[in-house]
Structure 1
Amino acid sequence: MTRNYDLEEIYATPLEAFTIWMKQSGYTNATKKEYLREVLDYLHTLNERPVQEAGKLQVVGFLVSKQGTAGDKTRNRTLSAIRSFYAALIDFELATRNPALEVKKSKTEKNKIPVYLEENDLEKALSYIEGRYRDRNLSLFLLMGYCGLRVGEVHRINLPHFKKAKGTLEVLGKGRKWNEIPLPELLVQCLSKVEKERIKPNSQREEAFFVSQKGRRLSIRQIQKIATQIFDELKKNNPHLMDMKLSCHKLRHSFATMLLNNNVDIRVVKELLGHASIETTMIYTHINDEQKRNAMTTIIVPQVAIPK
């Protein structure tokens, strides 16, 4: 079997192009690492064949070979990695077609209803944020749960991005696209306090808004750990949430659901979330049980004799 370092030599140019393309596109370090791993696994199956000659058959064959150990979500992420790989090659004129685009994503994953917290549970979570860094951690949670920011977007916030006078925040999202988000007044006040009490970074050139106690930019892993601690306390005191798999991204789901439940135009929700397509935003247009019950109360069933 061809070893990874042999593959990196055989496919040196395509892999270099992909690495540069992902960095230029603003992919997180975690995504870059995982996508490169998936692409190397895919290249193993080509048997040193040029990537330009591979077609839909090779992509499907690779996905099928992983079916025994991967679910729908993993399959779709693997497919996304290969799609991105070929997109990079096309961008750098190293390929003319993307065979991975000819392969459909799993319908099970596509139709899955996002997990989210109801508005009252989201509010309860705020009461479990305490301790020495309460203001900082509260701001992190509010940005994800009440502004819909991705954890990577929160991680990348710099001091100049917070426009206190305007009450807005400039966010660098996927694809290195900038989005200006209007902030709730309470969050403006909270961020202002965090900015004032911000720990002095070790480096004079560091502009990170959220700084760790060690004087470095708060990492994505640290933000996730803070959120997990809050979720653990929330679940401990609210048994109905015990089996719910909560994460930073579930706060984004909660924000989107809250907006749509409050009848905000889906086009506005799309812009606030920074989605490229409104189809992505559509997954949040799910209907909850209470809405179903309320709908059924509007139905008047005629008085008829019920057979005994």
Structure 2
Amino acid sequence: MKQAGYTDTTQKEYLREAYSYLQSLEGLPAEDAGKMNVVGFLVAKQRSTGDRTRNRTLSAIRSFYVALIDFEMANRNPALEVKKSKTEKNKKPVYLEEEELVETLQYIGGRYRSRNIAIFLLMGYCGLRVGEVHRLNLKDFKKGKESIEVFGKGRKWNEIPVPSVLLSYLIEVEAQRITPYSAKEDAFFVSQKGKRLSIRQIQKIVGQTFSAFKEKNPKVTDMKLSCHKLRHSFATMLLRNGVDIRVVKELLGHSSIETTMIYTHVNDEQKKQAMSMVNIPLHAIG
């Protein structure tokens, strides 16, 4: 998985799924398992999860068998004989409107507020994934060029210009950065214990901000807000402001423009404005 460029989070999820699958075989060697063993495991799991989770689990099992075949520990991949579930391709992403995103900023708190603001802005105003924030190193902050280099999915590097407000916070965070416990640690965001700030800690910072925001804003109470929703908000904001979709694709680090297309959704107000231009000729109806 490391050679394929999988993120640390994906590696952990895939390992967890592989262990669960092996336990479901109840002692049957993985190389002797067949299609129905995989289907049985997926069916049992799907009772409490949705189609997307099922497909991710199937991908993990497929990858597991690919590894077994590579190491000459199996001759076939029974998971390839199982079809993926159909999912809703055009499902509208959950996102905050630009004014809501701005309002959220005032609820960022914590002992290390400047650090927390920088983390929030990296996702909400630069579109970084939580894993990319976690992996950000000191050497990736190009202060002179006013940009950051992001190590994203597929082992791809992407240089992103940094807005001036965020730049000032990054400079402040760098100056206040706790000296890491390990001399080899180059993490940009360091925890109180002198270690790289974990994905879980980053999610907690954002989660606390959203919780405080929801308490004062009943209209977003039912929205499932998370780190990734900040990325959705960033992409939506750019496209609403007329940024070329090809530029948005590069900023988000997408390999295909089709992935970026999910952010081209329209809101109810835009639909109303479009329909207000429709003129039904009542006189012709008689």
How does the TM-score come out when normalised to structure 1?
0.82
Please report how far the alpha carbon of residue 211 of structure 1 lies from its aligned counterpart in structure 2 after TM superposition.
1.2
Q: Distance in 2 between matches of 1:150 and 1:191?
A: 17
Q: What is the aligned counterpart of 1:134 among 85, 90, 113?
A: 113
For 1:125, the equivalent position in structure 2 comes to: 104
> What are the superposed Cα offsets for residues 105-142 of structure 1, whole Å, 9 maximum, x if unpaired?
43335343221111111110111123541211110000
Q: What is the aligned counterpart of 1:189 among 168, 172, 178?
A: 168
For 1:290, the equivalent position in structure 2 comes to: 269
Root mean square deviation, CA, Å: 2.6
Q: What is the aligned counterpart of 2:50 among 71, 83, 86?
A: 71
Letter in 1 for 2:247: V
For 2:210, the equivalent position in structure 1 comes to: 231
Q: Percent identity?
A: 69
* CA distance 1:215–1:87, shift in 2 (3 Å): same
For 2:16, the equivalent position in structure 1 comes to: 37
SS in 1 for 2:54: helix
Question: Are 2:240 and 1:261 equivalent residues in the alignment?
Answer: yes
SS in 1 for 2:282: coil
For 1:84, the equivalent position in structure 2 comes to: 63
For 2:177, the equivalent position in structure 1 comes to: 198
* CA distance 1:282–1:89, shift in 2 (3 Å): farther
Letter in 2 for 1:263: G
Equivalenced residues, count:
285
Letter in 2 for 1:238: N
**Aligned pairs for 1:87-166 within 5 A:** 87-89=66-68, 100=79, 103-166=82-145
> Mind listing any 5+ residue stretches in structure 1 that lack a counterpart?
1-21
SS in 1 for 2:160: strand
Q: Distance in 2 between matches of 1:104 and 1:278?
A: 25
Contact 1:73 1:109 in 2 (8 A): no
How does the TM-score come out when normalised to structure 2?
0.87
Q: Distance in 1 between matches of 2:74 and 2:160?
A: 37
SS in 2 for 1:23: coil
Question: Are 2:198 and 1:216 equivalent residues in the alignment?
Answer: no
Contact 1:172 1:179 in 2 (8 A): yes
**Aligned pairs for 1:41-56 within 5 A:** 41-43=20-22, 44-45=24-25, 48=28, 51=31
> Mind listing any 5+ residue stretches in structure 2 that lack a counterpart?
none
